[in-house]
Structure 1
Amino acid sequence: MAAPKPGHRRVLAAPIGLALTVSLAFLPGTASAAPQNVALQTSDGPQLSYVVNTKADAATIERVKKAAATAGGTIVVAYEKIGVLVVHSANTNFPQQMRTIKGVQSAGATRTAPLQAAVTTEIGAPEYLAGSPAATATDVPGAEPLEADQWDLRAIGADRAAKINPGSSNVTVAVIDTGVDDTHPDLAPNFSKSQSANCVGGVADTSEGAWRPYDPASDYHGTHVAGSIAAARNGIGISGVAPGVKISAIKVSDPETSLFYPESVVCAFMFAADHGVEITNNSYYIDPWLYNCLDDPDQKAIVDAVNRASLYAQSKGTLHVASAGNANHNLAAASITDDTSPDDTAPVVRTINPRECWDIPAQLPGIVTVSATGVQNIKSYYSNYGRNVVDVAAPGGDKYQIPDTPSKNGRILSTMPNNGYAFLQGTSMAGPHAAGVAALLKSTHPAATPEMLQELLKEQADNPGCPTGLYDPDGNGVADSVCEGPKPVNGFYGFGIVNALDAVTAP
């Protein structure tokens, strides 16, 4: 697993958000349609994967399919409801030629490396818990054996919320990630196989176990995330924020590289929407670009394709929650240095404008972006932030903020493959806490739309306000970042830290 990842927006607000419901074709870098009798010349190169985004009508899609074949492309899947085609081609001129076809609104490569046979948002290696969790004693009646080490539940009132309403089994949170080990005893009681799939490559595979990690030793991320959301209160191990709701797994990490490519996430959003998922958790950024810039035709096509799928899911009643990232970037700054992209070949150093170069999916319209906090309710040292970018904050852990728990570990304890438990920290761990609270809100307000759920998350959040002194988590005497904005809404916490107890008690 690799490292950083960024966050979300609201600075782009209504006009662009509305236009994105159709396409990004009006933005810089758009090619105008050329006459249809232009000869399509092919030039051999490495086989890459592309997205071609069209008008969503049958005649246009059929015409584009034929043009793609003529240009040396092989259609992998066509999501006709949103006008997104996933195509493989070894023609180096493929995207340029497709942009000349009538009805094509954007087209581009989804990777810079050739196709083979992820970058997530946790920081550092897991610290595994030794011993049998089922045999661990607890002094708190009704608590799970390892709950004393779950300072995060108490920080947002999730322990008390579970006694009132642990969440409804009619609500499902899909973990879009590296897969989930659904055989784990803390996850099996709440797991929904019928809403799970392997979407790697862009086509959903629902065969038995397809959603599980390829390699449990390295692909543990999704299983850890799932436990924070909905590990059952069953006398074993830990509890999730919403221990009564269902969880599903939609695997999107490439088996060879562990990267999360756009076509896989398009598939995941479409699958979630069409299988009745109420909430998705997205603790990753879409590879190979840390930020996708709209003035680059390939990157703009990635934004367009994923946004179409995201908005389709929202229209079907699905709320997306996404982690803000671990680079300690101010996503509201005038510029950011990105030296990690593309991460599937050789990275180059580039200076980007966050208003024109987006972290996907976190900065897409309608998605809840979550920053991370530690036990002291202070922004985690690694967490991205930004005024009018971060929506809410949630516990993600911080090694510098030490809790009064048996382990004295400031990270987040959750489930791991092969019946294990481990501590991790990252905005990857914050996102699922917010997703769990959203699931409690949906359980309490079954008719709530994604927009309503997002507003409730914000209204009920508790904002500690910007730090009054120097923000210096590592204690070296230098400010590591600067919080901007008043207490109600600011760059570190957005509208505040999510509140599970309010989610089940507030009217």
Structure 2
Amino acid sequence: MKKSVTTVFAASMSVLIGFGSVQPAFSVAAQGNDGNESSSEPTLHLEADLLSDEIISIIVEIEEEAVLQARQNGRFQSEQILSQERERILEELESHGAQAELNHEYDQVFSGFSIDLAENEIGNLLMIDGVKAVFPNQLYEANEEYHFNLDDFSPEMADSAPYIGSTEAWDAGFTGKGVTVAVIDTGVDYTHPDLAHAFDMDNLGWDFVDNDNDPQETLVGAVTDHGTHVAGTIAANGTLKGVAPDATLLAYRVLGPGGSGTTDNVIAAIERSVEDGADVMNLSLGASVNDPDYPTSIALDTAMGEGVVAVTSNGNSGPQNWTVGSPGTSRDAISVGATQLPYNVFSASIETTSENTYPSADVMGYPSEDELTALNGSTSEFVYAGLGSVAEFNNVDVEGKIALVQRGELAFVDKAQNAADAGAVGVVIFNNVPGSQPDVPGMAVPTLKVSLEDGQKLLSDLDNGHNTLTVSIEFSDQVGETVADFSSRGPVMDTWMIKPDVVAPGVNTYSTVPNNGYGSKSGTSMAAPHVAGAAALILEAHPDWSVDFVKASLMNTAERLTDRDGNFYAHNTQGAGSIRVLDAIQAETLIIPGSHSFGIFNKQRGRETRRQSFEIHNLTNSRKRHSVSFTGNDGIKVNNSNNLNIQGGRSNSFNFMVQVDASNMEAGYNEGTFIISDGTKAYEVPTILFIQEPEFPLLQSVQFGLSDGVLNGLVRVTTDVDQFALRVRNADTGELLTETAVSQNIPRGDHFFAWDMLINGQPLTPGRYQLNPTATLGDRVTELEGGVLTIGE
């Protein structure tokens, strides 16, 4: 019987097909703490096999500044000069016999072009004068974590906009009127009755996937609804009201069927939206690349410099640090993490007719409190449904019963949705590895979770005829606004900046979906449009404010959040805190920047000092006396100019020195907070620094593909490492089966690898295989959980 092969990867991963074995060719130039390259040599941000004629898609950055970059630096640049320079580079490349297919050209927010080129021609490309850097044309995906649809509109699902103060801003007269917001996403169903008012049918935006002027969502085949959902959060005005219901929208479709797209389209859309006169742009998308100098991050920096408020999602790879992805790594754009609104917490216990106990039982998620509490005291038959796929539910009868399923392969919400579709009244998900499982708000059916050990006991009960489950549900407590576990964390590599800048509601966000519908989604994709809408309200209230003022107002007035235990979240988890839009509009003092990183202190002896400053702006008509204090590690000394008297409508610089004796402090991450008081209100500015180089992950993101019986991969290496290997484990037990694709002295950048899918020379037997790229540097090891390869009968 022929075996079947199935690849199952996380939602943030893309698929690469057709890459062969590779060899290191060029390395990325070393960079300093300020993120500037220490060499003028061209840099390659991927590995290339110089012997391969495989065609790959790349983005080329050239030395000549883009038009807007040059203008912001006080220099002149012309589109003609850039066009001539791109043409010269391509002609010289072709003179070497290369055949490059040109896809996009950029001359406004980013300087360069995207092409398809054989790997063995990249060396020739890098030898051409004027080439600054070469990047992979990275896959971008909508930052959506969970998704489910509701049959009926429920007013309480529309709480997120009022929660951040939108209704108060509306009452004050600010609804976003006259402000244009660009939605760079999967397209938008501009015919939706809640959105049609926001569009000019003669200028909807642009579709970069189909290259036409109709940026409609993908409605046939691999349908999408992400962009319509994002647009509704910003500017819906009908059954549902977005944050800025009278704002004007432009839609730019860069993510096609299935919700994925590439870097070159995203850059093109950023450039087009600036040219089209957008006041605000929202990018609820990202790639798992923690790099402040990635092309999309550079493009957003330029857009901000041009006066367009750029808002982007931080990513859904939390809760670990260093998981923020481009363009959330932008130095200047507003990067947004996701929170969950206040909610009630319930505990659960279960029992069968056996003598087994299940101490790990707890609530994972539910569609409503009423549906969850309806299970309290109930006794139902339970049935094992494997991994909870549609096919597995088709083979069992769960109508009116509780489904027992194992974690793995499918998203938790998909398992619950499949159970609901099959008629189950509840789900119990048991872990596939030792340890706990996350809470997942917004499940389609009441869902409990248990450990691997307790799950095996439940399977044993079924085998022995104990097939009924009694469920007890009790109210525990109420939790305030909390940061979602999936929300990506900073800091940013090389710049060491705090990201996100702010957080906003992004769990169970109810908004518009195509075909006149409504639905609920979770993800940092849902958080970012809250901030984009808030920016529109602020710009209506203060049309003369700069992008720095808009960003600072949101950060300075944000509310710092605590976890369930009452402890403040780290700065790299919540940034400055959760936005409050009316407070931002009514701010009387602005501190710029709204957060600060001092970078790395690694002097072995004596004290190391850094001089920095903030701008403090008094927005009132009266003189204000500002006092400044600092809280943080006792080993960090801050000397400042103490009090500042600032006349009404004026600004002043607050200068200070940070002094650290690294030899007397433990290595690692340190944070502090500046507190600036204007006499009536205190404003908090988060800061971070590192003692010695931080232990960031050696690997960031991985992409897999299958071609001719070979598994190919591309992994992001964050620094030069001693060794790379692919560890293959039993996905159910964690047992290490083999370590393959081993290579030594791998430079920073994108690393290609390949595995012949043999273990000890033998083909894979049916089972589930965990693929974990692994890097070592000295005694540091990063093992990245890549995905699961399933070999069927």
Letter in structure 2 aligned against 1:327? S
How far did 1:198 drift?
Answer: 1.3
Is 2:270 the partner of 1:269?
A: yes
How far did 1:87 drift?
Answer: 1.2
How far did 1:364 drift?
Answer: 1.6
Alignment correspondent of 1:282: 283
Structure number with higher relative contact order (C-alpha < 8 Å, ≥ 6 residues apart): 1
Pick from 171, 177, 180 the counterpart of residue 169 of structure 1. 177
Pick from 193, 200, 205 the counterpart of residue 209 of structure 2. 200
Q: Which has the higher strand share?
A: 2
> Do the aligned residues in 1 keep the contact of 2:328 with 2:499 (CA within 8 Å)?
no
Pick from 98, 110, 134 the counterpart of residue 137 of structure 2. 110
Q: Measure the CA separation in 2 of the matches of 1:392 and 1:111.
A: 26
Q: Measure the CA separation in 2 of the matches of 1:328 and 1:391.
A: 15
Deviation per CA, 1:53-75: give whole Å up to 9, x if none: 11224453232121243421022
How far did 1:214 drift?
Answer: 4.8
- The 3 A distance-change label for structure 1 pair 441 and 326 is same
How far did 1:30 drift?
Answer: 2.4
- The 3 A distance-change label for structure 1 pair 195 and 181 is closer
Alignment correspondent of 1:331: 321
Alignment correspondent of 2:87: 62
Percent identity between the aligned chains? 27
Alignment correspondent of 1:500: 581
Deviation per CA, 1:263-306: give whole Å up to 9, x if none: 011101101111111111111113xxx22569xxxxxxxx4432
Instruction: Report 1:179-198 matches (<5 A).
Output: 179-193=187-201, 194=203, 196-198=205-207
Alignment correspondent of 2:310: 320
Pick from 124, 128, 149 the counterpart of residue 146 of structure 2. 124
Deviation per CA, 1:357-379: give whole Å up to 9, x if none: x6110002112111111112111
Please, what TM-score do these two structures have when normalized by structure 2?
0.46
Q: Measure the CA separation in 2 of the matches of 1:169 and 1:45.
A: 54
Q: In structure 2, the residue corresponding to 1:165 is in which secondary structure?
A: coil
Is 2:329 the partner of 1:363?
A: yes
- The 3 A distance-change label for structure 1 pair 14 and 420 is farther
Alignment correspondent of 1:483: 569
Alignment correspondent of 1:38: none
Aligned residues: 394
Pick which of 425-434 and 71-80 moved more.
Answer: 71-80
Instruction: Report 1:16-95 matches (<5 A).
Output: 16=35, 19=36, 26=39, 30=43, 45-56=53-64, 57-58=81-82, 59-70=84-95, 71-81=98-108, 82-89=110-117, 91-95=118-122
Q: Measure the CA separation in 2 of the matches of 1:413 and 1:97.
A: 51
Pick which of 497-506 and 219-228 moved more.
Answer: 497-506
Instruction: Report 1:142-181 matches (<5 A).
Output: 147-181=155-189
Q: Measure the CA separation in 1 of the matches of 2:320 and 2:33.
A: 22
> Do the aligned residues in 2 keep the contact of 1:195 with 1:275 (CA within 8 Å)?
no
Letter in structure 1 aligned against 2:541? T
> Do the aligned residues in 2 keep the contact of 1:396 with 1:426 (CA within 8 Å)?
yes
> Do the aligned residues in 1 keep the contact of 2:298 with 2:330 (CA within 8 Å)?
no
- The 3 A distance-change label for structure 1 pair 148 and 200 is same
Alignment correspondent of 1:469: 565
> Do the aligned residues in 2 keep the contact of 1:220 with 1:416 (CA within 8 Å)?
yes
Alignment correspondent of 2:255: 253
Pick which of 378-387 and 179-188 moved more.
Answer: 378-387
Q: Which has the higher helix share?
A: 1
Deviation per CA, 1:179-202: give whole Å up to 9, x if none: 11000000110124526111238x
Is 2:484 the partner of 1:380?
A: yes
How far did 1:458 drift?
Answer: 0.6
Q: In structure 2, the residue corresponding to 1:85 is in which secondary structure?
A: strand
Q: Measure the CA separation in 2 of the matches of 1:48 and 1:161.
A: 49
- The 3 A distance-change label for structure 1 pair 500 and 129 is farther
Q: In structure 2, the residue corresponding to 1:436 is in which secondary structure?
A: helix
Deviation per CA, 1:323-351: give whole Å up to 9, x if none: 1222223335xxxxxxxxxxxxxxxxxxx
Q: Measure the CA separation in 2 of the matches of 1:214 and 1:44.
A: 38
Pick from 218, 227, 244 the counterpart of residue 223 of structure 2. 218
Alignment correspondent of 1:98: 125
How far did 1:14 drift?
Answer: 9.0
Q: Measure the CA separation in 1 of the matches of 2:222 and 2:136.
A: 31
> Do the aligned residues in 2 keep the contact of 1:68 with 1:74 (CA within 8 Å)?
no
Q: In structure 2, the residue corresponding to 1:495 is in which secondary structure?
A: coil
How far did 1:252 drift?
Answer: 0.8
Alignment correspondent of 1:36: none
Q: In structure 1, the residue corresponding to 2:124 is in which secondary structure?
A: helix
> Which has more radius of gyration?
2
How far did 1:29 drift?
Answer: 7.8
- The 3 A distance-change label for structure 1 pair 394 and 14 is farther
Instruction: Report 1:282-431 matches (<5 A).
Output: 282-286=283-287, 290-291=288-289, 303-332=293-322, 359-376=325-342, 377-386=481-490, 388-397=498-507, 411-431=508-528
Q: In structure 1, the residue corresponding to 2:272 is in which secondary structure?
A: helix
Give the CA RMSD over aligned residues: 3.1
How far did 1:390 drift?
Answer: 1.6
How far did 1:418 drift?
Answer: 0.3
> Do the aligned residues in 1 keep the contact of 2:297 with 2:329 (CA within 8 Å)?
no
Q: In structure 1, the residue corresponding to 2:60 is in which secondary structure?
A: strand
- The 3 A distance-change label for structure 1 pair 72 and 3 is same
Deviation per CA, 1:146-205: give whole Å up to 9, x if none: 54431212211112222223433321111111111000000110124526111238xxx3
Q: Which runs of 5 or more residues in structure 1 are unaligned?
A: 6-11, 32-40, 113-117, 134-145, 295-302, 333-353, 398-410, 472-481, 485-489
Q: Measure the CA separation in 2 of the matches of 1:206 and 1:275.
A: 15
Pick from 237, 243, 246 the counterpart of residue 241 of structure 1. 243
Letter in structure 2 aligned against 1:105? K
> Do the aligned residues in 1 keep the contact of 2:217 with 2:224 (CA within 8 Å)?
no
Deviation per CA, 1:404-460: give whole Å up to 9, x if none: xxxxxxx11100000000111111111111111111111111122222211111122
Please, what TM-score do these two structures have when normalized by structure 1?
0.70
Deviation per CA, 1:238-283: give whole Å up to 9, x if none: 100111111221111144x632311011101101111111111111
Q: Measure the CA separation in 1 of the matches of 2:204 and 2:50.
A: 40
Q: Measure the CA separation in 2 of the matches of 1:314 and 1:457.
A: 15
Q: In structure 2, the residue corresponding to 1:244 is in which secondary structure?
A: coil
Q: Measure the CA separation in 2 of the matches of 1:330 and 1:63.
A: 45
Q: In structure 2, the residue corresponding to 1:122 is in which secondary structure?
A: coil
- The 3 A distance-change label for structure 1 pair 215 and 63 is same
Is 2:27 the partner of 1:15?
A: no
Pick from 231, 236, 240 the counterpart of residue 231 of structure 1. 236
Letter in structure 1 aligned against 2:141? V
Deviation per CA, 1:471-495: give whole Å up to 9, x if none: 8xxxxxxxxxx933xxxxx233211
Letter in structure 2 aligned against 1:87? I
Q: Measure the CA separation in 1 of the matches of 2:205 and 2:284.
A: 17
Q: In structure 1, the residue corresponding to 2:87 is in which secondary structure?
A: helix
Letter in structure 1 aligned against 2:94? A
> Do the aligned residues in 1 keep the contact of 2:553 with 2:585 (CA within 8 Å)?
no
> Do the aligned residues in 1 keep the contact of 2:233 with 2:529 (CA within 8 Å)?
yes
How far did 1:505 drift?
Answer: 4.0
Q: Measure the CA separation in 2 of the matches of 1:165 and 1:217.
A: 41
Q: Measure the CA separation in 2 of the matches of 1:151 and 1:321.
A: 21
Q: Measure the CA separation in 2 of the matches of 1:95 and 1:54.
A: 14
Alignment correspondent of 2:709: none
> Do the aligned residues in 2 keep the contact of 1:241 with 1:500 (CA within 8 Å)?
no
How far did 1:506 drift?
Answer: 4.1
Q: Measure the CA separation in 1 of the matches of 2:235 and 2:522.
A: 18
> Do the aligned residues in 1 keep the contact of 2:217 with 2:223 (CA within 8 Å)?
no
